[in-house]
Structure 1
Amino acid sequence: MTLQRPLSLITGASSGIGAEFARQLAARGHDLVLTARRTDRLETLAGELREQHGSQVSVLPHDLADPSAPKWLHDTLEQRGLQVDWLINNAGYGVPGTFEANDWSVHADFLQVLLTAPTELAWRLLPGMRRRGHGRVVNVASLAGHVPAPAGHTLYAASKAYLIKFSQALALENQPHGVNVCALCPGFTWSEFHDVTRTRDKMDKLPGFMWLSAREVVRQGIVAVERGDAVHIPGRVNRFIKTFVQLLPDRLALWLSARESKRYRNTGI
């Protein structure tokens, strides 16, 4: 890696928003470290970015459900003499059904990937950014973290709300040192997410104006973190939803969330 090119570490880089972050940052002249579970997809993406943008791309496959993964990633980067300038904490997924419908091991893995791993990666990589006087951290949260949580996918909204508050605190702590931190909070985004959660048939019934492409979500996220926004919600519709819900009494907002969520949640109730 050359010192002139920023280096970005992207988790969950094999598809969707993570892969799009890789493409757009490579187009901006970044070198990349890509991590996810699916090695074949990472290697395919790495080849694409090397050919199209001349980026140097390191592929470090790992499952962030493994508690040792963040330290392993950090130590591997140090051994290779790589200093991370941008951290994109993107890895995530949903667990369909109600809380008691899944084994604890399923929830433990989810919490490790969605909460512990991004928190630890930030803890391990922020000191270097602060010493160098420049860095960017994007924690991919969700509009779900701003609105009442529905039944089903019980831990998803809670984990995203955590990332939002975590990002706000980190932004205040690190901006004086040249490091910007942003919670990116997309709403419905075209990706494989709903195929994995087996809700694609329900999601396809939602009107098109409620959706954004991963390309647009990432474009806005990069602009927002460069601008110094601690939280950014892409899309006017999503920002309206967040503002509208906050103006409602809590009981009414929760009732509305419960009614509307039946369109796109597999609750298992």
Structure 2
Amino acid sequence: MPITRPLSLVTGASAGIGAAFAHALAERGHDLVLVARRAERLHALAAVLRESRGIDVTVLPCDLALREAPQRLCMELAERGLAVDWLVNNAGYGVPGSFVGNDWRTHEDFLQVLLVAPTELAWRLLPGMRERGYGRIVNVASLAGFVPGTAGHTLYAAAKAYMIKFSQSLALENRAAGVNVCALCPGFTRSEFHDVTGTRAIMNRLPAFMWLDAAEVARQGIAAVEQGRIVYVPGRVNRLIKALAEALPDRLALWLGSRQARRYRRG
């Protein structure tokens, strides 16, 4: 059974979907551990949540691109006596341009943040959840993990596809122990993601019905993992896109995806 005041750790909590998860979990009465690189933003968010919700908020600034970061983060939690009940692996970003158009360190950091860090955090925090008989893990993947890969942002879809498959296996391994795992797969979400990648002007060409608010994505993600959903795609339009991508022959899906992607690609 869940404890009275669960403790939730949210990575990438300084903005976008991560900040939305922090607000939504705080509204449910969770204490929080906020993780991201931008310490000032984390402290500002923590102050708001403490004041508005009366919860305990721990701020742990951390660059998950560093190989030792997940271990250090979990050691800090242990030293503070903090047992994590909910893990929201949200930290992520995109790398625009072609695969060979970026240096290897750029790709290495990307893989560390989007693949290695969330996998290691789950590995380190799962034993405690299993021992207590209660836990929730939300791995923020993407609709991109289902649709055909396209030129540009070469590693993004591949990384998100990994998170979906990883979540499925993890869910099946741990549900009998009281731990629910969900791959949350949003499509286009209003956040800073496209500002950071420099593609905001291009993405603004998309029609309004294609977009979801970060708060709605977080709300649906929380509901999905509580219901035991293993993979969840928020938004009817996104679910339709997923169904079409899975139904079409590979060659046709790749052709259509490539044709559309050229309209919204930088580099």
Band the TM-score falls in, shorter-chain normalisation = over 0.9
Q: Residue type matched to 1:212 in 2?
A: L
Q: Residue type matched to 1:106 in 2?
A: T
User: Following TM superposition, by how much is the alpha carbon of 1:262 offset from its aligned partner in structure 2, in angstroms?
Assistant: 1.5
**Stretch moving more, 98-107 or 255-264:** 255-264
SS at match of 2:92: coil
Q: Quick one: distance in 1 between partners of 2:204 and 2:108?
A: 30
User: Following TM superposition, by how much is the alpha carbon of 1:193 offset from its aligned partner in structure 2, in angstroms?
Assistant: 0.2
Q: Residue type matched to 1:91 in 2?
A: A
1:127 corresponds in structure 2 to 127
Gaps of 5+ in 1: none
**Stretch moving more, 139-148 or 254-263:** 254-263
Q: Residue type matched to 1:53 in 2?
A: R
Q: Give the conservation status (yes or no) of the 8 Å contact 1:97–1:153.
A: yes
SS at match of 2:181: strand
Question: CA RMSD, aligned part only?
Answer: 0.7
User: Following TM superposition, by how much is the alpha carbon of 1:4 offset from its aligned partner in structure 2, in angstroms?
Assistant: 3.3
Q: Give the conservation status (yes or no) of the 8 Å contact 1:26–1:53.
A: yes
**Stretch moving more, 256-265 or 7-16:** 256-265
Gaps of 5+ in 2: none
Identity of aligned residues (%): 70
Q: Quick one: distance in 2 between partners of 1:246 and 1:23?
A: 34
1:114 corresponds in structure 2 to 114
Q: Residue type matched to 2:26 in 1?
A: A
1:166 corresponds in structure 2 to 166
2:229 corresponds in structure 1 to 229
The correspondence of residues 39-58 of structure 1 with structure 2, limited to 5 A, is 39-58=39-58
- Runs ≥4 residues deviating over 6 A: none
The correspondence of residues 1-269 of structure 1 with structure 2, limited to 5 A, is 4-266=4-266, 268=267
Q: Quick one: distance in 2 between partners of 1:263 and 1:76?
A: 45
Q: Quick one: distance in 2 between partners of 1:144 and 1:84?
A: 29
Q: Quick one: distance in 2 between partners of 1:79 and 1:263?
A: 50
Q: Residue type matched to 1:73 in 2?
A: L
Q: Quick one: distance in 2 between partners of 1:264 and 1:238?
A: 17
User: Following TM superposition, by how much is the alpha carbon of 1:22 offset from its aligned partner in structure 2, in angstroms?
Assistant: 0.3
Q: Residue type matched to 2:53 in 1?
A: H
User: Following TM superposition, by how much is the alpha carbon of 1:246 offset from its aligned partner in structure 2, in angstroms?
Assistant: 1.0
User: Following TM superposition, by how much is the alpha carbon of 1:55 offset from its aligned partner in structure 2, in angstroms?
Assistant: 1.1
Q: Give the conservation status (yes or no) of the 8 Å contact 1:203–1:263.
A: no
SS at match of 2:87: strand
